[in-house]
Structure 1
Amino acid sequence: MIETVTRKRIEILTDKALQKRVTDAIDRVDITGWTILPVDSGKGREGVWREESVMGTDKVFVLTIAAEDKAMALAEELAPMLTDFGFILNMWDVQVIRGERFS
C-alpha cells in the first residue's frame, strides 16, 4: 500500500505584478517549490472582476505545498502583504505521496 504524508497546500491570489514578492517569500522560508497559474476573473466583496493587463491588475494563483512549520512561517512572512495589497491566502491539509519532496 502506498504511504501518504499530511502537508499544507497553500494558495495565494495576488496581482501578477506582485508575484515575485510572494515567490521570494516562499524561497526565504525554504519551501522547495511553487507554481503560478493565471486567473481570468472572479467575484468577491467588491463585485465581479476580470483580467486587465492594460491596467496591470491581472491576477495569478501562486500554489505551493509544504510541511506545517514552513507553511506557518510563510503565512507570517506574507501577513503584512495580505493587508497592504489585498492578497488572499488559503491553506489546508492534503495527503501527498513522497512527502520528502514537500518538507
Structure 2
Amino acid sequence: MVQTYPRKKIELIVETAYLPAMLAMIDASGATGYTVIRDLLGRGHHGERGREALGGNGNALVMVITTAAIADTILTGSQRILGDGFGIVTLSDVQVLRPDHF
C-alpha cells in the first residue's frame, strides 16, 4: 500500500474583488501554495452567478492544501476578509503522497 499523509483542503469561492486580499492572507499564513480557477459559473441560494451576472467581475475558486494549523489560520482570515460578503468556504480532510509539498 502507498504511504499517504493527512492534510486539510480549503476551497474558497469568492468574487474576484476579494481575490487580492485573500491571496495575500494565504501567503502570509505560511501555506506553501494555492491554485486559483477564475470565471466560475453557478447557481445557488442567490440565483445564477457568473461573469455576465456580475458585470464582468466573476467568481474564482481558490484551493489550498495545508496542515491543520495553517488551515485554521486561513479560515479565520477568510472570515475576516469576507465578512457578510459573498463567499463559500469549505474544509475537507485529504490524503497526500508528498507531505513536504504541503
TM-score over 0.5 for the pair: yes
Conserved in 2, the CA contact under 8 Å of 1:17 and 1:56?
Answer: no
What fraction of aligned residue pairs are identical, expressed as a percent?
28
| TM-score, structure 2 as length reference | 0.88
1:35 paired to 2:35:
yes
Which 4+ runs in 1 deviate beyond 4 A? none
Q: CA deviation at 1:11?
A: 0.6
Conserved in 2, the CA contact under 8 Å of 1:82 and 1:88?
Answer: no
How far does the alpha carbon of each residue in 1:24-82 deviate from its partner, in whole angstroms, 9 at most, with x for none? Answer: 11111110101110243111111122323872430110111000000011101111223
Taking structure 1 as reference, are residues 56 and 85 closer, same or farther at Cα in structure 2, changes over 3 Å only? Answer: farther
Conserved in 1, the CA contact under 8 Å of 2:51 and 2:58?
Answer: yes
Q: How many pairs were matched up?
A: 102
Conserved in 1, the CA contact under 8 Å of 2:40 and 2:61?
Answer: no
**How does 1:60-75 map onto structure 2 within 5 Å?**
60-75=60-75
Look up the match of 1:55: 55
1:99 paired to 2:102:
no
Look up the match of 2:11: 11
Q: Distance in 2 between matches of 1:44 and 1:57?
A: 18
Q: Distance in 2 between matches of 1:85 and 1:16?
A: 12
| TM-score, structure 1 as length reference | 0.88
Q: Distance in 1 between matches of 2:64 and 2:23?
A: 10
